[in-house]
């Protein structure tokens, strides 16, 4: 289910929260831009100078710890606002956002966004939405702390597949095994061990650039359930 957290809570994208008409008006405040896979859309610690409307594509929301370790907090797809909380509370960005695939975005300056929020009385629904995202992140952290490496990896790949903009049967994940291991809180060797039987069954494959091509996410999930 699109927007389902690991704990089963249904997460609604921003376009659903504010409605398609207001979303369209907000999108028209900035030109359409394309960002390549693996590019950093928002950086943790930066000031909230703008918000990003994600028109297509999928992104990873990651938290970097004091030792440089990265944790995957969430995956976001089309119809999402990115970085709005830093603009609303005038605090540095609490996480980074990385393009998981080519993304089409609209970058709206903070002043224009705040004027729009004030004009249409959107502060309360946006803050309620932010609370839902905090709960989602807590569910992800619990999963990272308790689930096996294959289960964590399958969950991350499932979230990417659910929110990917592609309609093809195959999902291309432009992340290396090292990046995947950082994001699920595991070693690179553990990720490689988890991937091996899935690759042997033909459910996914590695690419020359270091990424993955996922061919059967349902089979991967069934395999993980059978092993746990």
pLDDT at 4: 41
Which position has the higher pLDDT, 7 or 106? 106
DSSP per position, 126-156: HHHHHHHHHHHHHHHHHHHHHS-HHHHHHHH
> In 10 A of CB 2, how many CB atoms?
12
Q: Find how far residue 69's CA is from the centre of its chain.
A: 17
Which position has the higher pLDDT, 166 or 52? 52
Which position has the higher pLDDT, 113 or 218? 113
The answer to whether residue 7 scores a pLDDT higher than 70 is no
| Secondary structure (H, E, C), 43-78 | CCCCCCCEEEEEEECCEEEEEECCCCCEEEEEEECC
Q: Let me know if 96 is exposed, middle or buried by CB neighbors in 10 A (0-12, 13-18, 19+).
A: buried
Report d(CA 63, CA 72) in Å as an integer: 7
State mean pLDDT over 15-28.
95
Looking only at the bridges linking them, the beta strands covering 32-35 and 59-64 are unpaired
> In 10 A of CB 176, how many CB atoms?
18
First to last CA, the chain: 22
The answer to whether residue 207 scores a pLDDT higher than 90 is no
Which residue in the block uniquely carries the two structure tokens 């597949």? Answer: 161
Percent of all residues in the chain with a pLDDT value above 90, rounded to a whole number:
50
């Amino acid at each position: 289910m699109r927007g389902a957290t690991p704990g089963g809570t249904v997460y609604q994208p921003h376009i659903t929260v504010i409605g398609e008409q207001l979303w369209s008006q907000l999108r028209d405040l900035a030109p359409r831009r394309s960002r390549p896979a693996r590019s950093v859309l928002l950086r943790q610690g930066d000031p909230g100078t703008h918000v990003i409307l994600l028109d297509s594509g999928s992104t990873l929301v990651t938290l970097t710890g004091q030792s440089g370790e990265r944790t995957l907090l969430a995956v976001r797809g089309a119809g999402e606002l990115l970085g709005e909380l830093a603009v609303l509370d005038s605090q540095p960005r609490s996480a980074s956002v990385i393009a998981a695939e080519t993304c089409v975005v609209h970058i709206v300056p903070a002043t224009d966004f705040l004027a729009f929020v004030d004009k249409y009385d959107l502060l309360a629904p946006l803050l309620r939405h932010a609370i839902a995202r905090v709960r989602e992140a807590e569910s992800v952290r619990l999963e990272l702390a308790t689930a096996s490496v294959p289960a964590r990896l399958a969950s991350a790949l499932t979230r990417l597949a659910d929110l990917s903009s592609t309609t093809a049967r195959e999902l291309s994940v432009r992340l290396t095994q090292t990046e995947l291991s950082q994001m699920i809180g595991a070693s690179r060797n553990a990720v490689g061990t988890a991937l091996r039987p899935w690759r042997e069954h033909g459910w996914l494959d590695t690419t020359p650039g270091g990424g993955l091509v996922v061919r059967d996410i349902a089979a991967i999930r069934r395999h993980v359930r059978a092993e746990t």
